[in-house]
Amino acid sequence: MKTSLCKIFLVVFLLSSLLFPAQHVEFDELKIVDDMLCVSYHIVDFLDEKNIEALQRGIKSEVVHTMQLWQQKSFINPREKQKEYRIKVFWDNWEKKYRLETEDENRLTPHIETVKQKCAFIENFPLAKTSDLERGKKYHVSISVNFQLISAESYNAISDIFAGEKKDQDTSAKKKSGFVSVLVNLLGFGDKEYAYKTKDFIITESGIIEFVP
């Protein structure tokens, strides 16, 4: 029985891999704007039909962008700066529109293209002051994006239902493993991770970005 169940899980997993093509980070630009080192990039093919249907059914999702600036050294690369950008998105049944929530904004839109633009595109995000960086030293930027189609808050609610009781817990805590976690991933609703690292670059004495080997 266990062997048959494992085979079923394996088949579903392989089918999910075929049905949902790999997505990736497309780096767009690194430039200096008013003494700020700014990053621009986007995720290719961010939402598919399954994701959109899940949102419209009321699933609350969250996208977390993490950008880090590192100095390139011989042994240990120190992290100079880290910035985070979070955005929650869900279908507002009362308004019949998508709701987008960030630290600075709470907006409604009927357009899925707006959702994609807000969640998957980072444009000129200020990462660090160039006046704080050493001239002629090598740096690089690393990008990490975590797309939680089922946010930690919603995931914990589902876990409570399967557990048959309400438990007090931090909704920002890491999702625990177990039956719910396996089920979520098999259904194609698990977290999606994207990562990218830029080439090494220096800030010249004249304040210009120059990529180096």
* Mean pLDDT, 10 residues at a time, the chain of 213 residues: 44 41 82 96 90 85 96 82 95 94 95 95 96 94 90 49 48 46 46 91 94 91
Closest to 145 (Cα-Cα) out of 29, 52, 23, 50:
23
**Residue ranges per structural domain of the chain:** 24-149+196-213, 150-190
Which pLDDT score is estimated for 153?
A: 56
- pLDDT at res. 15: 41
What is the predicted pLDDT for the residue at 117? 95
Work out whether the CA dihedral 98, 120, 30, 64 comes out positive or negative. positive
User: What's residue 16's pLDDT?
Assistant: 43
**Residue 67 has what pLDDT?**
97
The pLDDT, as a whole number, for residue 2 is 45
Strand ranges inside the chain, DSSP E: 25-33, 36-43, 61-71, 79-92, 97-101, 106-109, 121-129, 139-148, 192-197, 201-203, 209-211
Nearest-angstrom CA–CA distance, 129 and 32: 9
Angle between helices 152-163 and 179-186 (to 10 degrees): 120
The pLDDT of residue 97 is: 95
Tell how far CA 135 is from the center of its chain: 31
Residue 173 is predicted with a pLDDT of 47
